[in-house]
Structure 1
Protein backbone atom coordinates (compact mmCIF):
# COMPACT_ATOMS: atom_id res chain seq x y z
CA UNK A 1 0.00 0.00 0.00
CA UNK A 2 1.42 3.35 -1.08
CA UNK A 3 -0.27 5.62 1.44
CA UNK A 4 1.15 8.87 0.08
CA UNK A 5 0.23 8.18 -3.55
CA UNK A 6 -3.18 6.85 -2.52
CA UNK A 7 -3.94 10.03 -0.59
CA UNK A 8 -2.71 12.28 -3.39
CA UNK A 9 -4.72 10.38 -5.98
CA UNK A 10 -7.90 10.56 -3.91
CA UNK A 11 -7.46 14.29 -3.40
CA UNK A 12 -6.88 14.90 -7.11
CA UNK A 13 -10.04 12.98 -8.05
CA UNK A 14 -12.10 14.74 -5.37
CA UNK A 15 -10.98 18.20 -6.46
CA UNK A 16 -12.04 17.67 -10.06
CA UNK A 17 -15.70 17.02 -9.15
CA UNK A 18 -18.40 19.63 -8.70
CA UNK A 19 -21.32 19.12 -6.31
CA UNK A 20 -23.76 19.01 -9.21
CA UNK A 21 -21.73 16.16 -10.75
CA UNK A 22 -22.85 13.90 -7.90
CA UNK A 23 -26.33 15.29 -7.36
CA UNK A 24 -25.51 17.71 -4.52
CA UNK A 25 -26.54 21.37 -4.38
CA UNK A 26 -23.74 23.82 -5.15
CA UNK A 27 -24.60 25.93 -2.10
CA UNK A 28 -22.48 28.88 -1.03
CA UNK A 29 -19.21 29.77 -2.73
CA UNK A 30 -16.48 27.27 -1.87
CA UNK A 31 -13.00 28.19 -0.80
CA UNK A 32 -11.39 25.17 -2.49
CA UNK A 33 -12.19 23.33 -5.75
CA UNK A 34 -14.18 20.13 -5.85
CA UNK A 35 -16.17 18.23 -3.29
CA UNK A 36 -15.60 18.49 0.43
CA UNK A 37 -14.12 15.47 2.18
CA UNK A 38 -17.26 15.01 4.27
CA UNK A 39 -19.34 14.92 1.08
CA UNK A 40 -17.21 12.13 -0.36
CA UNK A 41 -17.46 10.23 2.92
CA UNK A 42 -21.26 10.46 2.92
CA UNK A 43 -21.46 9.30 -0.69
CA UNK A 44 -19.05 6.41 0.01
CA UNK A 45 -20.88 5.41 3.25
CA UNK A 46 -17.78 5.73 5.42
CA UNK A 47 -16.86 8.06 8.25
CA UNK A 48 -15.44 11.47 7.45
CA UNK A 49 -12.59 10.86 9.89
CA UNK A 50 -11.51 7.72 8.07
CA UNK A 51 -11.66 9.35 4.64
CA UNK A 52 -9.63 12.32 5.90
CA UNK A 53 -6.99 9.93 7.22
CA UNK A 54 -6.88 8.17 3.85
CA UNK A 55 -6.15 11.43 2.04
CA UNK A 56 -3.54 12.31 4.66
CA UNK A 57 -1.80 8.94 4.27
CA UNK A 58 -2.48 7.91 7.88
CA UNK A 59 -5.18 5.24 7.52
CA UNK A 60 -4.75 1.47 7.47
CA UNK A 61 -5.41 -0.44 4.27
CA UNK A 62 -9.05 -0.03 3.20
CA UNK A 63 -11.14 -3.05 2.32
CA UNK A 64 -12.33 -3.78 -1.19
CA UNK A 65 -15.85 -2.77 -0.14
CA UNK A 66 -14.64 0.61 1.11
CA UNK A 67 -12.65 1.19 -2.08
CA UNK A 68 -15.68 0.34 -4.19
CA UNK A 69 -17.70 2.91 -2.26
CA UNK A 70 -15.04 5.57 -2.71
CA UNK A 71 -14.70 4.76 -6.43
CA UNK A 72 -18.44 5.21 -6.85
CA UNK A 73 -18.48 8.44 -4.85
CA UNK A 74 -15.65 9.92 -6.91
CA UNK A 75 -17.13 8.71 -10.21
CA UNK A 76 -13.94 6.85 -11.10
CA UNK A 77 -13.59 5.15 -14.47
CA UNK A 78 -12.66 1.48 -14.64
CA UNK A 79 -9.02 2.39 -15.23
CA UNK A 80 -9.00 4.84 -12.31
CA UNK A 81 -10.71 2.29 -10.05
CA UNK A 82 -8.08 -0.30 -10.96
CA UNK A 83 -5.35 2.22 -10.20
CA UNK A 84 -6.99 2.95 -6.84
CA UNK A 85 -6.86 -0.74 -5.92
CA UNK A 86 -3.23 -0.96 -6.98
CA UNK A 87 -2.27 1.95 -4.76
CA UNK A 88 -4.23 0.50 -1.85
CA UNK A 89 -2.53 -2.86 -2.22
CA UNK A 90 -5.74 -4.78 -2.86
CA UNK A 91 -4.88 -5.76 -6.45
CA UNK A 92 -2.00 -7.92 -7.68
CA UNK A 93 1.06 -5.79 -8.43
CA UNK A 94 4.26 -6.67 -10.24
CA UNK A 95 6.84 -5.96 -7.57
CA UNK A 96 9.87 -6.86 -9.69
CA UNK A 97 11.20 -5.20 -12.83
CA UNK A 98 9.45 -4.71 -16.12
CA UNK A 99 10.47 -7.04 -18.92
CA UNK A 100 12.55 -5.98 -21.90
CA UNK A 101 12.85 -9.31 -23.71
CA UNK A 102 10.51 -9.63 -26.69
CA UNK A 103 8.83 -12.93 -27.50
CA UNK A 104 10.50 -14.59 -30.55
CA UNK A 105 7.12 -15.05 -32.24
CA UNK A 106 6.56 -11.28 -32.08
CA UNK A 107 9.97 -10.64 -33.66
CA UNK A 108 9.02 -13.03 -36.48
CA UNK A 109 5.67 -11.30 -36.89
CA UNK A 110 7.33 -7.89 -37.27
CA UNK A 111 9.40 -9.17 -40.19
CA UNK A 112 6.28 -10.53 -41.92
CA UNK A 113 4.48 -7.18 -42.09
CA UNK A 114 5.97 -5.55 -45.22
CA UNK A 115 3.24 -2.89 -45.57
CA UNK A 116 2.99 -2.13 -41.86
CA UNK A 117 5.35 -0.14 -39.65
CA UNK A 118 5.56 -2.13 -36.44
CA UNK A 119 7.49 -1.89 -33.22
CA UNK A 120 7.34 -3.14 -29.63
CA UNK A 121 7.52 -0.89 -26.58
CA UNK A 122 8.16 -1.74 -22.96
CA UNK A 123 6.13 -0.55 -19.98
CA UNK A 124 8.24 2.64 -19.94
CA UNK A 125 8.15 3.38 -23.70
CA UNK A 126 11.47 1.82 -24.64
CA UNK A 127 11.48 0.70 -28.27
CA UNK A 128 12.58 -2.93 -27.91
CA UNK A 129 12.08 -4.26 -31.44
CA UNK A 130 11.04 -2.86 -34.82
CA UNK A 131 10.81 -3.72 -38.48
CA UNK A 132 12.43 -1.96 -41.43
CA UNK A 133 9.39 0.17 -42.26
CA UNK A 134 9.16 1.49 -38.69
CA UNK A 135 12.83 2.48 -38.91
CA UNK A 136 12.18 4.23 -42.24
CA UNK A 137 9.12 6.10 -40.93
CA UNK A 138 10.56 7.07 -37.54
CA UNK A 139 14.33 6.62 -37.29
CA UNK A 140 17.07 4.02 -37.60
CA UNK A 141 16.93 2.68 -34.06
CA UNK A 142 19.96 0.45 -34.62
CA UNK A 143 22.09 3.59 -34.85
CA UNK A 144 21.00 4.64 -31.35
CA UNK A 145 22.13 3.29 -27.98
CA UNK A 146 19.35 1.65 -25.98
CA UNK A 147 18.99 4.70 -23.72
CA UNK A 148 18.14 6.86 -26.76
CA UNK A 149 15.34 4.56 -27.91
CA UNK A 150 12.94 5.68 -25.19
CA UNK A 151 9.96 7.53 -26.66
CA UNK A 152 9.06 9.21 -23.35
CA UNK A 153 12.54 10.67 -23.04
CA UNK A 154 12.48 11.79 -26.66
CA UNK A 155 9.04 13.41 -26.33
CA UNK A 156 9.84 15.45 -23.23
CA UNK A 157 13.59 16.02 -23.23
CA UNK A 158 14.65 16.03 -26.88
CA UNK A 159 11.71 17.16 -29.01
CA UNK A 160 10.97 20.89 -29.42
CA UNK A 161 7.94 22.84 -30.73
CA UNK A 162 9.86 23.45 -33.96
CA UNK A 163 10.94 19.80 -34.21
CA UNK A 164 8.30 17.59 -32.59
CA UNK A 165 8.81 13.87 -32.10
CA UNK A 166 9.21 12.45 -35.65
CA UNK A 167 7.15 15.39 -36.90
CA UNK A 168 3.94 13.85 -35.54
CA UNK A 169 0.72 15.83 -35.49
CA UNK A 170 -0.38 14.69 -32.05
CA UNK A 171 2.75 15.43 -30.03
CA UNK A 172 0.74 17.11 -27.23
CA UNK A 173 -1.69 14.20 -26.95
CA UNK A 174 1.18 11.71 -27.03
CA UNK A 175 2.94 13.43 -24.14
CA UNK A 176 -0.28 13.32 -22.10
CA UNK A 177 -0.61 9.62 -22.96
CA UNK A 178 2.98 9.00 -21.81
CA UNK A 179 2.41 10.62 -18.42
CA UNK A 180 -0.79 8.67 -17.75
CA UNK A 181 0.79 5.37 -18.75
CA UNK A 182 3.90 5.99 -16.66
CA UNK A 183 1.81 6.74 -13.58
CA UNK A 184 0.03 3.42 -13.99
CA UNK A 185 3.38 1.71 -14.64
CA UNK A 186 4.81 3.12 -11.42
CA UNK A 187 1.91 1.61 -9.47
CA UNK A 188 2.71 -1.80 -11.00
CA UNK A 189 6.50 -1.57 -10.56
CA UNK A 190 7.11 0.69 -7.54
CA UNK A 191 10.53 -0.85 -6.87
CA UNK A 192 11.89 -0.95 -10.43
CA UNK A 193 14.82 1.52 -10.63
CA UNK A 194 14.36 1.88 -14.38
CA UNK A 195 10.80 3.07 -13.82
CA UNK A 196 11.48 5.37 -10.89
CA UNK A 197 14.69 6.66 -12.48
CA UNK A 198 13.00 7.62 -15.75
CA UNK A 199 10.13 9.36 -13.98
CA UNK A 200 12.57 11.27 -11.79
CA UNK A 201 14.61 12.29 -14.83
CA UNK A 202 11.52 13.53 -16.65
CA UNK A 203 10.17 15.41 -13.63
CA UNK A 204 13.51 17.17 -13.14
CA UNK A 205 14.15 17.87 -16.82
CA UNK A 206 10.72 18.81 -18.15
CA UNK A 207 8.39 21.37 -16.54
CA UNK A 208 5.61 20.11 -18.80
CA UNK A 209 6.03 16.54 -17.56
CA UNK A 210 6.07 17.75 -13.95
CA UNK A 211 2.87 19.73 -14.51
CA UNK A 212 1.07 16.81 -16.14
CA UNK A 213 2.34 14.41 -13.48
CA UNK A 214 0.71 16.42 -10.73
CA UNK A 215 -2.70 15.96 -12.37
CA UNK A 216 -2.68 12.26 -11.37
CA UNK A 217 -4.58 11.19 -14.49
CA UNK A 218 -4.34 7.50 -15.35
CA UNK A 219 -6.63 6.92 -18.32
CA UNK A 220 -5.44 8.00 -21.74
CA UNK A 221 -7.68 8.33 -24.77
CA UNK A 222 -6.73 5.90 -27.55
CA UNK A 223 -4.73 7.39 -30.41
CA UNK A 224 -6.36 5.99 -33.54
CA UNK A 225 -4.68 8.08 -36.23
CA UNK A 226 -1.36 9.86 -36.47
CA UNK A 227 0.26 12.10 -39.08
CA UNK A 228 4.02 12.12 -39.65
CA UNK A 229 5.93 14.84 -41.52
CA UNK A 230 8.72 12.84 -43.14
CA UNK A 231 11.75 14.52 -44.78
CA UNK A 232 11.65 12.18 -47.81
CA UNK A 233 7.97 11.53 -48.57
CA UNK A 234 6.21 14.44 -46.88
CA UNK A 235 3.01 14.02 -44.86
CA UNK A 236 1.95 10.45 -44.04
CA UNK A 237 -1.25 9.75 -42.09
CA UNK A 238 -1.55 6.28 -40.60
CA UNK A 239 -4.03 4.28 -38.56
CA UNK A 240 -2.64 3.33 -35.15
CA UNK A 241 -3.25 0.06 -33.33
CA UNK A 242 -1.51 -0.76 -30.04
CA UNK A 243 -1.93 -4.40 -29.08
CA UNK A 244 -1.23 -5.33 -25.45
CA UNK A 245 1.24 -8.18 -24.93
CA UNK A 246 0.00 -8.87 -21.43
CA UNK A 247 2.42 -11.65 -20.50
CA UNK A 248 5.36 -9.21 -20.69
CA UNK A 249 3.55 -5.91 -20.11
CA UNK A 250 4.56 -4.66 -23.55
CA UNK A 251 2.75 -3.23 -26.58
CA UNK A 252 2.95 -4.07 -30.24
CA UNK A 253 2.30 -0.82 -32.12
CA UNK A 254 1.22 -1.03 -35.76
CA UNK A 255 0.94 1.84 -38.25
CA UNK A 256 -1.00 1.13 -41.46
CA UNK A 257 -2.71 3.03 -44.28
CA UNK A 258 -5.78 2.11 -46.37
CA UNK A 259 -4.81 0.14 -49.51
CA UNK A 260 -4.55 2.32 -52.58
CA UNK A 261 -4.38 5.58 -50.63
CA UNK A 262 -1.67 8.19 -51.08
CA UNK A 263 -0.50 7.35 -47.56
CA UNK A 264 -0.16 3.67 -48.49
CA UNK A 265 1.91 4.71 -51.50
CA UNK A 266 4.13 6.83 -49.24
CA UNK A 267 4.67 3.84 -46.91
CA UNK A 268 5.50 1.66 -49.92
CA UNK A 269 8.08 4.22 -51.06
CA UNK A 270 9.56 4.34 -47.58
CA UNK A 271 9.78 0.55 -47.63
CA UNK A 272 12.00 0.85 -50.70
CA UNK A 273 14.06 3.78 -49.41
CA UNK A 274 14.60 2.26 -45.97
CA UNK A 275 16.07 4.01 -42.95
CA UNK A 276 18.50 5.89 -45.19
CA UNK A 277 15.54 8.07 -46.24
CA UNK A 278 16.03 10.16 -43.08
CA UNK A 279 19.25 11.50 -44.60
CA UNK A 280 17.52 12.82 -47.73
Structure 2
Protein backbone atom coordinates (compact mmCIF):
# COMPACT_ATOMS: atom_id res chain seq x y z
CA UNK A 1 0.00 0.00 0.00
CA UNK A 2 1.33 3.45 -0.91
CA UNK A 3 2.26 5.56 2.11
CA UNK A 4 0.14 8.49 0.86
CA UNK A 5 -2.92 6.35 0.19
CA UNK A 6 -5.18 7.67 2.95
CA UNK A 7 -8.33 6.40 1.23
CA UNK A 8 -7.04 2.84 1.11
CA UNK A 9 -5.70 3.02 4.66
CA UNK A 10 -9.06 4.24 5.95
CA UNK A 11 -10.97 1.50 4.14
CA UNK A 12 -8.64 -1.17 5.46
CA UNK A 13 -8.82 0.17 9.03
CA UNK A 14 -12.61 0.31 9.04
CA UNK A 15 -12.84 -3.12 7.42
CA UNK A 16 -10.87 -4.47 10.36
CA UNK A 17 -13.49 -3.15 12.79
CA UNK A 18 -16.54 -4.89 11.34
CA UNK A 19 -17.16 -8.36 12.71
CA UNK A 20 -18.55 -10.84 10.16
CA UNK A 21 -21.43 -11.78 12.45
CA UNK A 22 -22.47 -8.11 12.66
CA UNK A 23 -23.27 -8.11 8.95
CA UNK A 24 -24.88 -11.55 8.79
CA UNK A 25 -21.87 -13.57 7.68
CA UNK A 26 -21.18 -17.01 9.13
CA UNK A 27 -17.59 -18.01 9.71
CA UNK A 28 -15.78 -21.19 10.55
CA UNK A 29 -12.28 -21.83 11.76
CA UNK A 30 -9.72 -19.36 12.96
CA UNK A 31 -9.32 -16.08 11.07
CA UNK A 32 -5.85 -14.60 10.64
CA UNK A 33 -7.01 -11.00 10.86
CA UNK A 34 -9.89 -9.34 12.73
CA UNK A 35 -12.84 -7.91 10.89
CA UNK A 36 -13.95 -8.52 7.35
CA UNK A 37 -11.82 -10.08 4.68
CA UNK A 38 -11.42 -8.01 1.55
CA UNK A 39 -13.53 -10.46 -0.44
CA UNK A 40 -16.32 -10.25 2.15
CA UNK A 41 -16.46 -6.48 2.05
CA UNK A 42 -16.43 -6.52 -1.75
CA UNK A 43 -19.38 -8.92 -1.79
CA UNK A 44 -21.34 -6.82 0.72
CA UNK A 45 -20.69 -3.63 -1.24
CA UNK A 46 -21.44 -5.17 -4.62
CA UNK A 47 -18.00 -4.54 -6.12
CA UNK A 48 -15.34 -6.93 -7.30
CA UNK A 49 -12.59 -8.01 -4.94
CA UNK A 50 -10.08 -6.91 -7.58
CA UNK A 51 -11.53 -3.39 -7.63
CA UNK A 52 -11.51 -3.16 -3.82
CA UNK A 53 -7.88 -4.31 -3.86
CA UNK A 54 -7.05 -1.49 -6.25
CA UNK A 55 -8.75 1.02 -3.95
CA UNK A 56 -6.97 -0.22 -0.84
CA UNK A 57 -3.60 -0.32 -2.58
CA UNK A 58 -3.94 3.17 -4.03
CA UNK A 59 -4.14 2.09 -7.65
CA UNK A 60 -7.57 3.72 -8.07
CA UNK A 61 -8.39 7.11 -6.54
CA UNK A 62 -11.74 7.93 -8.12
CA UNK A 63 -14.52 5.66 -6.85
CA UNK A 64 -18.01 6.73 -7.87
CA UNK A 65 -20.54 8.12 -5.41
CA UNK A 66 -22.46 4.87 -5.79
CA UNK A 67 -19.43 2.82 -4.77
CA UNK A 68 -18.70 5.12 -1.82
CA UNK A 69 -22.29 4.83 -0.66
CA UNK A 70 -22.17 1.04 -0.90
CA UNK A 71 -18.86 0.88 1.01
CA UNK A 72 -20.20 3.24 3.70
CA UNK A 73 -23.23 1.03 4.18
CA UNK A 74 -21.24 -2.21 4.20
CA UNK A 75 -18.73 -0.81 6.70
CA UNK A 76 -21.52 0.62 8.86
CA UNK A 77 -19.96 4.07 8.85
CA UNK A 78 -21.70 6.80 10.78
CA UNK A 79 -22.36 10.22 9.21
CA UNK A 80 -18.97 11.65 10.24
CA UNK A 81 -17.04 8.62 8.99
CA UNK A 82 -18.95 8.57 5.71
CA UNK A 83 -18.27 12.28 5.17
CA UNK A 84 -14.57 11.60 5.77
CA UNK A 85 -14.61 8.76 3.24
CA UNK A 86 -16.15 11.04 0.60
CA UNK A 87 -13.62 13.78 1.37
CA UNK A 88 -10.70 11.36 0.93
CA UNK A 89 -12.10 10.30 -2.44
CA UNK A 90 -12.51 13.88 -3.67
CA UNK A 91 -10.32 14.56 -6.72
CA UNK A 92 -8.70 17.62 -5.15
CA UNK A 93 -7.99 18.69 -1.58
CA UNK A 94 -10.02 21.52 -0.16
CA UNK A 95 -8.36 24.89 -0.80
CA UNK A 96 -6.52 26.35 2.17
CA UNK A 97 -8.46 29.01 4.04
CA UNK A 98 -7.33 32.29 5.53
CA UNK A 99 -4.36 31.96 7.87
CA UNK A 100 -5.39 34.92 10.06
CA UNK A 101 -8.53 35.88 11.91
CA UNK A 102 -10.07 39.17 10.87
CA UNK A 103 -9.89 42.30 13.04
CA UNK A 104 -13.68 42.16 13.36
CA UNK A 105 -13.51 38.65 14.83
CA UNK A 106 -10.78 39.72 17.27
CA UNK A 107 -12.96 42.64 18.42
CA UNK A 108 -15.84 40.22 18.92
CA UNK A 109 -13.68 37.96 21.10
CA UNK A 110 -12.60 40.95 23.17
CA UNK A 111 -16.21 41.88 23.92
CA UNK A 112 -16.73 38.42 25.44
CA UNK A 113 -14.50 39.31 28.35
CA UNK A 114 -16.29 37.05 30.84
CA UNK A 115 -15.77 33.83 28.86
CA UNK A 116 -12.69 32.21 27.32
CA UNK A 117 -12.95 32.38 23.53
CA UNK A 118 -10.49 31.74 20.73
CA UNK A 119 -10.38 31.05 16.98
CA UNK A 120 -8.61 28.11 15.40
CA UNK A 121 -8.39 26.77 11.88
CA UNK A 122 -8.87 23.21 10.65
CA UNK A 123 -5.17 22.52 11.20
CA UNK A 124 -5.86 23.44 14.86
CA UNK A 125 -3.61 26.50 14.82
CA UNK A 126 -4.85 29.19 17.22
CA UNK A 127 -5.39 32.36 15.17
CA UNK A 128 -6.89 34.72 17.76
CA UNK A 129 -7.95 34.68 21.41
CA UNK A 130 -9.23 36.94 24.16
CA UNK A 131 -7.41 37.53 27.42
CA UNK A 132 -9.66 35.16 29.33
CA UNK A 133 -8.80 32.25 27.04
CA UNK A 134 -5.09 32.93 27.43
CA UNK A 135 -5.54 33.15 31.22
CA UNK A 136 -7.24 29.75 31.15
CA UNK A 137 -4.20 28.25 29.39
CA UNK A 138 -1.23 29.30 27.31
CA UNK A 139 -2.45 26.62 24.91
CA UNK A 140 -4.96 29.16 23.63
CA UNK A 141 -2.38 31.81 22.72
CA UNK A 142 -2.31 32.84 19.04
CA UNK A 143 0.48 31.01 17.24
CA UNK A 144 0.08 27.82 19.27
CA UNK A 145 -1.03 24.55 17.70
CA UNK A 146 -3.59 22.68 19.81
CA UNK A 147 -2.46 19.22 18.70
CA UNK A 148 1.18 19.82 19.57
CA UNK A 149 0.26 21.47 22.86
CA UNK A 150 -2.11 18.76 24.03
CA UNK A 151 0.32 15.93 23.31
CA UNK A 152 3.66 17.55 24.10
CA UNK A 153 3.20 20.22 26.77
CA UNK A 154 3.28 18.81 30.34
CA UNK A 155 1.41 21.87 31.66
CA UNK A 156 -1.41 21.24 29.21
CA UNK A 157 -1.54 17.58 30.15
CA UNK A 158 -1.95 18.61 33.80
CA UNK A 159 -4.72 21.04 32.81
CA UNK A 160 -7.06 18.25 31.69
CA UNK A 161 -8.00 15.59 34.27
CA UNK A 162 -9.50 13.61 31.38
CA UNK A 163 -6.36 14.01 29.26
CA UNK A 164 -6.54 10.65 27.50
CA UNK A 165 -10.09 11.33 26.34
CA UNK A 166 -9.22 14.91 25.32
CA UNK A 167 -6.18 13.71 23.37
CA UNK A 168 -8.12 10.97 21.57
CA UNK A 169 -10.86 13.44 20.63
CA UNK A 170 -8.23 15.88 19.36
CA UNK A 171 -6.69 13.28 17.04
CA UNK A 172 -10.15 12.23 15.83
CA UNK A 173 -11.14 15.87 15.24
CA UNK A 174 -7.96 16.57 13.27
CA UNK A 175 -8.74 13.59 11.04
CA UNK A 176 -12.34 14.76 10.59
CA UNK A 177 -11.71 18.46 10.00
CA UNK A 178 -8.21 18.58 8.55
CA UNK A 179 -7.15 17.54 5.07
CA UNK A 180 -4.19 15.18 5.03
CA UNK A 181 -3.42 16.28 1.46
CA UNK A 182 -2.83 19.86 2.59
CA UNK A 183 0.99 20.24 2.84
CA UNK A 184 0.96 22.08 6.17
CA UNK A 185 -1.45 19.59 7.71
CA UNK A 186 0.59 16.69 6.38
CA UNK A 187 3.72 18.27 7.87
CA UNK A 188 2.00 18.58 11.26
CA UNK A 189 0.88 14.95 11.23
CA UNK A 190 4.30 13.71 10.13
CA UNK A 191 5.98 15.60 12.98
CA UNK A 192 3.47 14.27 15.51
CA UNK A 193 3.77 10.61 14.49
CA UNK A 194 7.05 10.46 16.42
CA UNK A 195 4.94 10.80 19.58
CA UNK A 196 3.88 7.29 20.59
CA UNK A 197 0.56 8.35 22.11
CA UNK A 198 -0.45 10.44 19.12
CA UNK A 199 0.70 7.68 16.76
CA UNK A 200 -1.49 5.13 18.52
CA UNK A 201 -4.56 7.37 18.53
CA UNK A 202 -4.08 8.55 14.95
CA UNK A 203 -3.79 5.02 13.62
CA UNK A 204 -7.20 4.07 15.04
CA UNK A 205 -8.67 6.14 12.19
CA UNK A 206 -11.39 7.51 14.48
CA UNK A 207 -13.32 10.43 12.99
CA UNK A 208 -15.08 12.91 15.28
CA UNK A 209 -15.54 16.61 14.48
CA UNK A 210 -15.50 19.07 17.38
CA UNK A 211 -18.97 19.58 18.79
CA UNK A 212 -20.50 21.17 21.86
CA UNK A 213 -19.63 19.27 25.02
CA UNK A 214 -18.75 19.56 28.70
CA UNK A 215 -15.04 19.84 29.41
CA UNK A 216 -13.16 19.68 32.71
CA UNK A 217 -10.07 21.69 33.63
CA UNK A 218 -7.79 21.90 36.66
CA UNK A 219 -6.32 25.39 36.57
CA UNK A 220 -3.09 25.88 38.58
CA UNK A 221 -4.49 29.05 40.23
CA UNK A 222 -8.29 28.83 40.48
CA UNK A 223 -8.59 25.04 40.63
CA UNK A 224 -11.24 22.82 38.99
CA UNK A 225 -13.57 24.16 36.33
CA UNK A 226 -16.33 22.40 34.44
CA UNK A 227 -17.13 24.43 31.33
CA UNK A 228 -19.55 24.06 28.47
CA UNK A 229 -17.75 24.23 25.11
CA UNK A 230 -19.49 25.62 22.05
CA UNK A 231 -18.05 25.56 18.52
CA UNK A 232 -19.19 28.30 16.14
CA UNK A 233 -18.38 28.52 12.43
CA UNK A 234 -17.51 31.92 10.96
CA UNK A 235 -19.65 32.44 7.84
CA UNK A 236 -17.05 34.62 6.11
CA UNK A 237 -14.25 32.15 6.92
CA UNK A 238 -15.74 28.63 7.05
CA UNK A 239 -12.34 27.04 7.69
CA UNK A 240 -12.16 28.91 11.01
CA UNK A 241 -14.00 27.97 14.18
CA UNK A 242 -14.70 30.04 17.28
CA UNK A 243 -14.48 28.02 20.49
CA UNK A 244 -16.24 29.49 23.54
CA UNK A 245 -16.23 28.08 27.09
CA UNK A 246 -19.03 28.98 29.51
CA UNK A 247 -19.73 28.03 33.11
CA UNK A 248 -23.27 27.19 34.13
CA UNK A 249 -24.80 29.98 36.26
CA UNK A 250 -24.57 29.55 40.02
CA UNK A 251 -21.92 26.85 39.91
CA UNK A 252 -18.48 26.75 41.56
CA UNK A 253 -17.04 26.87 38.05
CA UNK A 254 -18.69 30.27 37.51
CA UNK A 255 -16.98 31.54 40.67
CA UNK A 256 -13.66 30.04 39.59
CA UNK A 257 -13.94 31.65 36.18
CA UNK A 258 -14.65 35.01 37.82
CA UNK A 259 -11.51 34.62 39.93
CA UNK A 260 -9.58 33.79 36.78
CA UNK A 261 -10.68 37.11 35.31
Q: TM-score, normalised by structure 2?
A: 0.89
Q: In 2, distance between residues paired with 1:237 and 1:79?
A: 27
Do the aligned residues in 1 keep the contact of 2:80 with 2:176 (CA within 8 Å)? no
Q: Which residue of 2 aligns with 1:180?
A: 172
Aligned residue runs from structure 1 range 17-96, under 5 A = 17-59=18-60, 61-89=62-90, 93-95=93-95
Q: In 1, distance between residues paired with 2:165 and 2:139?
A: 24
Aligned residue runs from structure 1 range 32-181, under 5 A = 32-59=33-60, 61-89=62-90, 93-95=93-95, 97-139=96-138, 146=143, 149-159=144-154, 163-165=155-157, 167-181=159-173
Do the aligned residues in 1 keep the contact of 2:139 with 2:156 (CA within 8 Å)? no
Aligned residue runs from structure 1 range 228-243, under 5 A = 228-243=217-232
The correspondence for 1:191, drawn from 178, 182, 195, is 182
Q: In 1, distance between residues paired with 2:239 and 2:252?
A: 34
Do the aligned residues in 1 keep the contact of 2:216 with 2:226 (CA within 8 Å)? yes
Relative to structure 1, the CA distance from residue 100 to residue 79 in structure 2 (aligned partners, 3 Å threshold; closer, same or farther) is same
Structure 2 alignment gaps of length 5 or more: none
The correspondence for 2:202, drawn from 196, 213, 228, is 213
Relative to structure 1, the CA distance from residue 240 to residue 186 in structure 2 (aligned partners, 3 Å threshold; closer, same or farther) is closer
Q: TM-score, normalised by structure 1?
A: 0.83
Q: CA deviation at 1:77?
A: 1.3
Do the aligned residues in 1 keep the contact of 2:61 with 2:89 (CA within 8 Å)? no
Do the aligned residues in 1 keep the contact of 2:151 with 2:198 (CA within 8 Å)? yes
Q: Which structure is higher in RCO with an 8 Å CA cutoff and minimum separation 6?
A: 1
1:268 is aligned to 2:254: no
Q: CA deviation at 1:181?
A: 2.5
Q: In 1, distance between residues paired with 2:62 and 2:239?
A: 27
Q: In 2, distance between residues paired with 1:134 and 1:252?
A: 12
Q: CA deviation at 1:182?
A: 2.3
Q: In 2, distance between residues paired with 1:29 and 1:213?
A: 29
Structure 1 alignment gaps of length 5 or more: 272-280
